[in-house]
Each structure stands twice: as structure tokens, then as C-alpha cells.
Amino acid sequence: MIVFCIGFVGISQTPEQHKEIEEMQRQAEEAQKKAMEMMSNNPQFQEAMKMMEAAEEQQKQEEMRGQVEAEKRQKDTAKDHLKDFYWRNKVASNTQGVFDNWQWGSVEIAYYDGTGTPGPDGRAPYDHYVMVGKITQSGTVQMNLPHEVATNRTIKTGLFPQMHEVLNDEVDFTNPDAQMTWSGYRFDVFQGQEVIGNLKIGNSERTTHNLSSPSHMKYGDEGYLLYWAYTDDSCHATLEKKDIDRTVYEGESSKVIDQYTTVDMDLKPGWNLVKIEVNGNHTIGSRTRWKFKTYTTIADIPSDARYYFQYE
């Protein structure tokens, strides 16, 4: 009933009443405008407005600082997570090949010879491993590669076991049918006849992990990984590969990157020390992707190399 009456009154206004209402609204607006002008000229009002503006600016600054601090905490958390991931169950020797506070006694270093039937744990019997050294009870690594070992593949099919950046079919081999075997990117470590962990060699815990793990080979972090390959004959392997303008994603971040792979390996009869090195990085989110990756053979273990033992 009230709504009906209001509507009825509004509809039944005469032109004179309508003009009076408009005049009252105009006068009210002018009065409000004058009041605001008087207040704006009032020193106390001006001071109050300045204080309000200062308070708003301070709030904005605090919100910005809070956002920056939150982003920093997020990045620090990501870094801590990566550090924990790469160092989980892992210890490193010094550059003289000695582990401080070694806790596992005298152990053997070995690689699988590629024969034998794996057991329930996925590993072949102990007698199908080739012993290449030991870690003494005091933690000193002593490598002693056997002079001759059985070869089980050809260079053209087995030199590059990973299937990520390099394919054997892409590489030029001067002697592709030469026989070879390799130690793997990591050695198994035996205590008695039980595997207690693995051993890698390089100069970065991140790089050695990335380059030896199929699911992480795409990541960067500068450094190198070492491993051994045994050949019956000489062979030179070369490759130059460019991967240009590739969009990669890391979480919610993405980036267009270029990557270059170079192979220049001069393999001689016997054991060859292979070095895979990452140089330069693309930063994407909290992770990195490599820019340059090179495969070479070197004469000796570099002076900055360490052994990384990851225990089970």
C-alpha cells in the first residue's frame, strides 16, 4: 500500500510541483558545494585531508612491502626445497677424494656388466658387477679400473644411453662399429654383497644429479659430470646441435630459449674419461635450463672434482 501511494504521488505530480522539486535539489547541491568549499579552505580540514592521504599512502607502501617480502619468502622456500632435494641422503668428498666422517666402513665401487637376470630388487647378482675401486674405512676413494673388460655394445648404438638431447643416430662416428662398454653415470657401492648407495663424480651436486637422472637432464646449474667408457678400438665422435626458439615451462613461468649441444670425443682403446659439462643457464621461475652442453674426453680427473655418495 505504501509503495502504491508513493508511486501514485510521483505520477500525479503537477508541472509546478516537479519544478519545485528540481529547484530544491539544485539548492541542496549548491549548499553542499558551498559547504565543501568552506571546509576545503579550513586549515583543520586541509590538515585532516593530508593525514588521510598520508595514511592511504603508508598503507599502499606497507602492502607493497608485504608483497615483496612474500615473494622473497616464496623464492627462499623454493631454494631451500631444491637444496634439500639435491642433498637428500648425500655426502660429498673433498677435492682430494676423501669423505670426512665416513660412516659406512670399507666398501666396494662397481658397475653392472649388463648380463645376468635381475632379482626381486631389480638388481643383477653380485657376481655380475665389475669392481673398479673402493672407499676405505677412513673415507678415501681409491679407483682401480681393470685393464680389460668385456664389451657388450657398439659405439654407434651405446655411446649415448640417454634419449633427451643427443641421439646416437645424430652423431658422426669415424668407427661406429667399434665395441664398447661404459660404467654408467653412477657407480653402485657395495657393503659386502648388498648395495648401500651410489657414487657420482663431478663438481656440483646439482649438475651431477641432473646429468645422471633421465627426468632431470633438461635442468641446468653450471658444472660437469664424469664417467668412464671402455672401447676396443679408436673412434672420434662429433656433433653440433642447435635447438632454437623453444618455449619451455616451469610451473606458471615460461620462456623462449636457445640450447646448443656439442660432442667432440676422441675415444682411444681402453678406458676413456668422459666429461659432460653445462655452461650458462636460462632462469625460468625458480629453476634453470642449460644453454650449452658439451661432451668431451679428458686425460685426468680435474682438480676441482668431488665424489658424491648417495646412500639408500
Q: Looking at residue 5, what is its pLDDT?
A: 44
Which value, in Å, is the radius of gyration of the alpha carbons in the chain? 36
- Residue 230 counted as domain residue: yes
Mark whether 228 and 278 lie in a shared domain.
yes
Tens-level pLDDT at each residue, the chain (312 residues): 444 444 444 456 687 777 888 888 888 787 777 767 776 677 776 777 777 887 888 888 877 777 766 556 555 545 555 667 888 999 999 999 999 999 999 999 999 998 888 877 778 889 999 999 999 999 999 999 999 999 989 999 999 886 567 889 999 999 999 999 999 999 999 999 999 999 999 999 999 999 998 888 888 889 999 999 999 999 999 999 999 998 988 888 899 999 999 999 999 999 999 999 999 999 898 788 999 999 999 999 999 999 999 998
In residues, how long is the chain?
312
Mark whether 79 and 128 lie in a shared domain.
no
Q: For residue 42, give its domain range.
A: 34-88
- Residue 130 counted as domain residue: yes
Mark whether 73 and 175 lie in a shared domain.
no
Q: Looking at residue 3, what is its pLDDT?
A: 44
- pTM, two decimals, is 0.74
Q: CA–CA distance from 28 to each of 22, 41, 133 (Å)?
A: 10, 20, 98
Q: Looking at residue 172, what is its pLDDT?
A: 97
- Residue 171 counted as domain residue: yes
Mark whether 83 and 208 lie in a shared domain.
no
Mark whether 270 and 131 lie in a shared domain.
yes
Q: Looking at residue 236, what is its pLDDT?
A: 98
Mark whether 143 and 187 lie in a shared domain.
yes
Mark whether 158 and 304 lie in a shared domain.
yes
> Following DSSP, what letter does each residue of the chain receive, concatenated?
-HHHHHHHHHHT--HHHHHHHHHHHHHHHHHHHHHHHHHHT-HHHHHHHHHHHHHHHHHHHHHHHHHHHHHHHHHHHHHHHHHHHHHTTEEE--TTSB-TT--S-SEEEEEE-S-S---TTS---GGGEEEEEEE-TTSBEEE---S-----EEHHHHS----SS--GGGSEESSTT-EEEE--SSEEEEETTEEEEEEEEES-HHHHHHHH-TTTTTB--SEEEEEEEEESS-EEEEEEEEEEEEEEEETTEEEEEEEEEEEEEEE-SEEEEEEEEEEEEEEETTEEEEEEEEEEEESS--TT-EEEEEE-
- Residue 164 counted as domain residue: yes
C-alpha cell at 88: 637428500
- Residue 121 counted as domain residue: yes
Mark whether 170 and 300 lie in a shared domain.
yes
Mark whether 224 and 247 lie in a shared domain.
yes
Mark whether 73 and 103 lie in a shared domain.
no
Q: Is the dihedral of CA 167, 171, 176, 178 positive or negative?
A: negative
C-alpha cell at 277: 659439462
Domain end marker among 65, 88, 111: 88
- Residue 17 counted as domain residue: no
- Residue 73 counted as domain residue: yes
Do 203 and 193 touch, CB atoms closer than 8 A?
Answer: no
Tell me how many domains the chain contains.
Answer: 2
C-alpha cell at 23: 529547484
Q: Looking at residue 8, what is its pLDDT?
A: 43
Mark whether 41 and 109 lie in a shared domain.
no
Q: Could you give the maximum distance between any two Cα atoms of the chain, in Å?
A: 117
Domain end marker among 88, 107, 128: 88
Q: Looking at residue 73, what is its pLDDT?
A: 58
Domain end marker among 88, 108, 127: 88
- Residue 102 counted as domain residue: yes
> String of b and e for 262-280 (b: at least 16 CB within 10 Å)?
ebebebeeebbbbbbbbee
Mark whether 49 and 188 lie in a shared domain.
no
